[in-house]
Every structure is written in C-alpha cells, then in structure tokens.
Structure 1
Amino acid sequence: MEEAHPESDRRQADAAVRRVAFISLAVNVGLVLVKLGLAGISGSLALGTDAVHSSLDVLASLALLAGIWISSRTSREFPYGLYKVENLVAVVIALLVFFTAWEITAAAIGGEATALPFDGWVLIAVAALISVPYFLGTYEVRMGTAYHSPSLVADGKQHRVDVLSTSVVFFALLGRSFGLPLDHLAAVVIAALIAYSGWGILKDSMRTLLDASIDHETRDTIRAAILAEPMVTGVRDLTGRNSGRYIFVEASVAMKQTDLAEATLVSERIQARIRGLVPNVERVVIHPEPGERSQVRYAVPLNDLDGTLSPHFGEAPYFALLDFGVKEGRLQRKEVLANLASGMEKQKGLRAAEMLLEQKPDVVYAQQSFAGKSPEYVFESARVAMRTTGVETLRELTGVIEAEMEEERDE
C-alpha cells in the first residue's frame, strides 16, 4: 500500500534548496573576483591559490544547482526518481575538496611568487573575507539539514573549510609583513584538515549511494509508529534507505485477522503516522500479513488490587492484563495497570478503551455489556473481542478462560 508524497511540499522544498544554491553561487563568484584582485595587488602566492580554491567553489555551486534540478526529474526509466544525483554531486564536491587540499599542499611546498609591497588595507580586506564563507557555510548546512539535502550540506561544510584556507592567507600576509615565512607550514596543516573534511562528505554520500540503511534512530521511530497501530501484532521486516534528501520505507507487518479493505485502511493509517513523525518520506510500502499469535491477551477492569472485578468499565481504578499461551492454555503473565481515565469528568469509558488499545488486548471482559457505548466502537474498530462475565474475582475469570481454551483445543 503506498501514498504519494504531497507535491506542494516537495515543490516548496526544491524552491528553498535552489534559492540557497543560487546565493552560494553568487557569493562564490564575488569571492573569486575579490581574491584575484587582491592577489594581483599583493603578489601573494597564498592569496592566488585561495582564489583558485574559490573558483572550484563556483564549479561546485554550478554542480549543486544541476544536481538539485536533475534530482527532481522523474521518467519511465527512473520511476523512483533521480534523487541520488544529489549524493553524486556531494561526491564531486568531496573530490573538489581533496583536490583543493592537494593544491594547497603543492603550493606550500614548491610554489613561489613575486612578493609585492601592499598597504595595510589589503590585510584588513583578507581578514574581512574570513567571515564570509563561515556565515555562508553555516547557513547552507542549516538549510540543507532542514530540507534533508545532502549536496547542500556538503557544499556548506566545504565553505566552512574555506575559513581555514582564507585564514592561512591572512596569517601568511601577516607573517610577511613581519618578515616571518609562516605561510608554507600553516598551509600544509590546513590542507590536512581540508582533506579530513572531504573524507566526511565522501563517506556520508557513498553510504547513501550504496543503499545503506537509514540511521538507527529513524528506524526505531518508524518501528514505533507501526507498532502503535492497534491492529498490528508485530513487525516482521523493516527496511529503509535514503535517496538524496528523501527516505523510502518498506515493512512487512503482522496484523490481526482482517479483510483486504480493512488491511488497506490500516496501512494508510500507518503511512500517515510515519509521515507525521519522519520528515521527507517519499514512499512507504506496507505489506500486511496475517499474524500468528503464541499468546492471547485478555483485559478486565478491577475494583482493587486483590483481584475483585469492577462492575464499571471507565470508572474502574485498575485494569488487569492476562496473557495466556495458545498451546498450553494456561496463564503465563499477569499485569495490573492504573486506569488514568477514572479521574476524568467526561468520556471515561472512551479514554479507558483508548488506553487499553495501547496494550493490544485480544479480548476485553466486563461485567456489563458494551452495547451502544463508546468503548464498543473503539474495540470493534481494532477487532478486539468483547465479552461479559458474571464472575466476581480474577481467580475465577482465569479458570473460566482456561476452561474455554481447553474446549477450543479439544475441538
């Protein structure tokens, strides 16, 4: 069973990511022009190298825009979309980061330039440039995280690395003004940090390209959303993968005995719950399967902790949960829960029934009939059997249930 991702939400997300990518491109072009001008004035090898680095950022921004545009296309040949193009772009960006690290190292070890005298304003201008990639990168990472865009996050991380390379330029110029040759050694250290950042980008992108599973926290959230459905008795298989900034989920779910129409409705409720808890879910596929239970769970209202059955349902202070083994026909586990709905002024029966559904009972016993009352509709929709009993204690009810299960086995 599957449901399309809301088209309007996708268009808004794509538009937001494209807007940030255009901002990145414009800033990078400006940085290249400014750094080339300052390099021509000062004759600084480090500043010229940093200008080349920013030129690579322009190419990365163009690749980012192309990746975002291509990833939003669909066709017959690619029915699941081209979302992984964003991850490919992130790989390209990582390779550009590696190339930049090598370039800085090569320039630091063997590069030479004709040093020209420069005024103090050049040093001030370079210092001002340091903050530009930091704020741009932070903005890109924040927006990329919000919209789950791996290429935008990768571009933002690369820009924050640019802070280091521009800082190298600043200290190289500062050292030169004092006659200290610091730029070569500092450039090698910064190149190593840049390469480490590129490895982080490459590793995250390759995980997605190789269809690695979604992170454990997201997987646990999805599993909990499935198990919260009263008709579900278990999750037999759950897989999820990232594709670009979207998530694909597939699960085989054991359900109580039901027909196809009701199983479809249950699957739709599960899909809606997953989409409400996990952002950017593109597709959820639920495979309903008949559940085979090793236990049957009974619920009954109690008047006290001694096991006296309550004549009321919503007003009962406690509920007992009794788990009986299907093969043995004997009580295996007993648990007593406080009825949090008993203190409410209105809708006690309804709220108590909803609370019990979270415990997934198969049968609910009561001394009074549920006919025409709100708990009847709650339990009926979840396929929970409702029975009345005239016994007074939990011990007596346990004997009744064991006798019924023995009769069923004999039949």
Structure 2
Amino acid sequence: MPEEKEGADREAADTAIRRVAWISLAVNAGLVLVKLVLAGITGSLALEADAVHSFLDVLASVALLAGIWLSSRRSREFPYGLYKVENIVSVAIALLVFLTAWEIAVEALTGEGIALPFSGWVLVAVAALVPVPYLLGTWEVRVGTAYHSPSLIADGRQHRVDVLSTSVVFFALLARYVGIPIDHIAAVIIAVFIAYAGWGILKDSMRTLLDASIDHGTRDAIRSAILAEPMVIGIKDLTGRNSGRYIFVEAGVVMKQTDLAEAALVSERIQARIREQVQNVERAVIHAEAGERSHLRYAVPLSDLEGAISPHFGEAPYFALLDFGVKERRLERKEVIANPVRDLEKQKGLRAAELLLRQKPDVVVSRQPLAGKSPEYVFESARIMVRITDAERLADLIGEIEGEVREERAAGG
C-alpha cells in the first residue's frame, strides 16, 4: 500500500507539472505574437528584443516538457532513472537566457532601428503585458517548489525576470512618446537583467549535476527523522544529494545491540519516517551497525523535585534521567524533565512512555509493575528494560544502582 500511494503521488505530481508547463507554453506563444505585432507598429528595438526573449521562452517551455517526460523514464541502462534530465533542461534554459541577453545587447549596440509613430493605446497594451509573466512565473515557482521540480522553478524565475524587461520596454516607449529616444539604452538594460537571471538558474542546476549536498534544512530534517528512532544511538555519517526533483539519502547509524532481522526492521522504520518528513525521497539507504554505550540511561518517575519516586508512572509530574558510566556504574549526569501528559484523561501511561522514548533510556524504573500495560509494549519494542524498585527516594535508588557494581566485583573476586 505505501508503494502504491507513493506511485500515485508521483503520477499526480507529474500531471500537475505537465499541466503548468503546457499553460506556460501557450502563454509564451501568445506573448510572442502580441509583442511582434506591437514591435512592427512602433519599430521599437527594445520591444522587438523582448519578443525574441519570449520566443526563447517558448523553446524553453518545449524543452521543459521534454525534460519532465524523460526524467520519469527508466531503463536497464539507467536503473536510477533519468531524474537529472530536469537539471540538464535547466542548464539549457540558462544558456538560452544568456543567448537572449547577448542578442539583445548586440542589437542594441550595433543596430539602428526605425522609429515609427504610434498611438497611446500601444502604451496601454504594453502596460497590460507587464503583470502576465510575473503571475505566470510566480505560479510556476510555487508549483515547482511544491513538487521539487528544478526545471519548472527555473522557468518560473525566468518569467518573473520578464517583468523587468517588459517594464523597461514600457518606460522606453513612454519616453519616446514624449520625445526622449532611449530605446537602445532600454535594450541594454534588458540584456543585463536577463543575463543575471540566467546565472542564477545555471548555478543552481550545476550544483545538482555535480552532486552537491542537499540543503541544511533538508539534512536537519533527515537527521531528526533518524534520531527519532528509539533503537538508534547515534549517526556516524549522513549524505544526501538531489537528482532532478528527487533526493537520494545514505546514512550510517549506530543501533543498540540487536540481531540482523530486527536491525532490518528498524532500518525500514527509519526509511518510512524519512519519507514522511521529507518530500520526494527516492531512495534512503541505511547502514546499521551495533554500538557500545559509554553510559546507561535510567528514567525514573518523580512525585516532586525533591527526589521522591512516584508510585504512579503515567501520572508522575516529573521524570529523572540518570546517566551512569557503563564500567564504573557511577552517576555522571542527572536531568529532570516535566511530564506534560499527566493530566490527560486517557492513555497517560502510553503517552508518558512515548515521551520517554525520545530521551532514549536503557532502563525505566517503576514502583508499580507495568506487565500487560501499554507502556511495557512500547518499551519492549524499543529494547528498553523495565526495572521494579522498592526505593522511595531518588538518592536511595542511585546508591542501589552504584552498589550493584561493588557487589558484582566482590562476588567475582
């Protein structure tokens, strides 16, 4: 069922991205026609350059659709998929952007152009074109971000830059309308804007093609997902990379002593949790190894901050966390945390047990037996031992634990 849901989600994402790409293609084609007509009426070099830019947007939209289709294909030669095709498409879009900037700059610096008289309605028409690429680009970036599509994000960013170029065209025509010829200067300004946008797209795409690490926020989310597993003691290494809109993760984790079958189940739980917390994770590889603890952590329910051990588990207002050195069994660290679930009407014990799981104890101490109760099942699944004690004070329990080592040594020696 999870695999079927994941496949359905991926198909829905591809459908949404393709729909946006087709709309982008149609809008760009319309902009080309309108700008060419207006450029013919006015003889504006800047407007003509902007039309060329929109035509390249059409080519970019076609490349975007091809990239989206190819990135979902798999074959024997490409078992990991062709996800990076989307990033290659983004590079192609960036190169088209640079080409646009170059053509505009050359035409502005060397071309003469023929200025034609025009009516005020032309200014209104150009002004109406200004918000179109911004709205389209913002929508593309939002959808691309939601579905982690780098090519759609790149296309959207390029369209948002079109707002600047079309705005410059408008002000150049307005200036010419009142007798100030700045058409060539406007064309050069457009070229600079476009080249800057192309650099941003190229930089982001090349990072992925060169297997740069995932961003810090995503890495922290993956780390948190791994450490949330009660059986995990620590993380030895964690690497991740983007491939198109998908993420590949590999982590070496240190687990409590366990057998291979249970380690495999724990790894599956970690993989599922990573996919729940991080979108578009295509593959998560977990390398598990058993680790030795330098200390043992005891969790003890307390009635008060003075150290009275609570006779109740779920209703205890506090829990003491005691870290004892493994060899000497001496107390190295003590921390007291509040129990925020003590006032629940139901499932206090279960919620308190889940609270303690996040603290990763090795032993839970209780004055009442937990056999047959929900906390016992929680602790058993996480390989946490439950210890029943008659001690009423925390200090007495600490002395009892530290004394066990002395008794063991005396018996052995």
TM-score by length of 2: 0.94
Displacement of 1:406 in angstroms is: 4.7
Q: Secondary structure of 1:226's partner?
A: helix
2:21 paired residue number: 21
In structure 1, what is the Cα distance between the partners aligned to 2:46 and 2:304? 81
1:192 paired residue number: 192
Deviations 1:291-341 (A, max 9, x none): 221111011222322222222222223221110111332110011222223
Q: Secondary structure of 1:390's partner?
A: coil
In structure 2, what is the Cα distance between the partners aligned to 1:307 and 1:44? 84
2:148 paired residue number: 148
Inter-CA distance 405–77: structure 2 relative to 1 (3 Å threshold): farther
Q: Secondary structure of 1:341's partner?
A: coil
1:317 paired residue number: 317
1:374 paired residue number: 374
Displacement of 1:408 in angstroms is: 5.9
In structure 2, what is the Cα distance between the partners aligned to 1:285 and 1:158? 36
2:360 paired residue number: 360
Displacement of 1:117 in angstroms is: 2.4
2:212 paired residue number: 212
In structure 1, what is the Cα distance between the partners aligned to 2:3 and 2:232? 19
Inter-CA distance 41–343: structure 2 relative to 1 (3 Å threshold): closer
In structure 1, what is the Cα distance between the partners aligned to 2:342 and 2:176? 79
Deviations 1:326-379 (A, max 9, x none): 133211001122222332232222222221111111011222222222221111
2:51 paired residue number: 51
> Quick one: which amino acid aligns to residue 241 of structure 1?
R
Displacement of 1:3 in angstroms is: 7.1
Inter-CA distance 407–98: structure 2 relative to 1 (3 Å threshold): farther
In structure 1, what is the Cα distance between the partners aligned to 2:223 and 2:316? 32
In structure 1, what is the Cα distance between the partners aligned to 2:406 and 2:244? 56
1:36 paired residue number: 36
Q: Which runs of structure 2 are paired with 1:398-409 in the superposition (5 Å)?
A: 398-406=398-406
Displacement of 1:146 in angstroms is: 1.3
Deviations 1:195-244 (A, max 9, x none): 11111111111111111111111111111111111111111111111111
2:228 paired residue number: 228
Contact 2:147 2:245 in 1 (8 A): yes
In structure 2, what is the Cα distance between the partners aligned to 1:340 and 1:39? 69
Q: Which runs of structure 2 are paired with 1:49-198 in the superposition (5 Å)?
A: 49-198=49-198
Contact 1:3 1:271 in 2 (8 A): no
Q: Which runs of structure 2 are paired with 1:295-374 in the superposition (5 Å)?
A: 295-374=295-374
Contact 1:32 1:54 in 2 (8 A): yes
Deviations 1:87-146 (A, max 9, x none): 111111111111222222222212111222222222222222222212111111111111
In structure 1, what is the Cα distance between the partners aligned to 2:345 and 2:163? 61
Inter-CA distance 38–305: structure 2 relative to 1 (3 Å threshold): closer
In structure 2, what is the Cα distance between the partners aligned to 1:119 and 1:180? 16
> Quick one: which amino acid aligns to residue 173 of structure 2?
L
Displacement of 1:62 in angstroms is: 0.8
In structure 1, what is the Cα distance between the partners aligned to 2:58 and 2:350? 61
Inter-CA distance 171–304: structure 2 relative to 1 (3 Å threshold): closer
In structure 2, what is the Cα distance between the partners aligned to 1:406 and 1:51? 87
> Quick one: which amino acid aligns to residue 139 of structure 2?
Y
TM-score by length of 1: 0.95
1:262 paired residue number: 262
In structure 2, what is the Cα distance between the partners aligned to 1:290 and 1:49? 64
Contact 2:366 2:388 in 1 (8 A): yes
Contact 1:5 1:282 in 2 (8 A): no
> Quick one: which amino acid aligns to residue 333 of structure 1?
R
In structure 2, what is the Cα distance between the partners aligned to 1:168 and 1:355? 59
Q: Secondary structure of 2:180's partner?
A: coil
Inter-CA distance 314–164: structure 2 relative to 1 (3 Å threshold): closer
Contact 1:3 1:283 in 2 (8 A): no
Q: Which moved more, 1:167-176 or 1:5-14?
A: 167-176
Structure number with the bigger relative contact order (C-alpha 8 A, sep ≥ 6) is: 1
> Quick one: which amino acid aligns to residue 243 of structure 2?
S
1:202 paired residue number: 202
> Quick one: which amino acid aligns to residue 393 of structure 1?
R
Q: Secondary structure of 2:157's partner?
A: helix
> Quick one: which amino acid aligns to residue 228 of structure 2?
A
In structure 2, what is the Cα distance between the partners aligned to 1:70 and 1:281? 19
Deviations 1:58-109 (A, max 9, x none): 1111111111111010111111111111111111111111122222222221
In structure 2, what is the Cα distance between the partners aligned to 1:48 and 1:178? 20
Displacement of 1:261 in angstroms is: 2.4
Contact 1:4 1:283 in 2 (8 A): no
Aligned residues: 410
Contact 2:49 2:187 in 1 (8 A): no
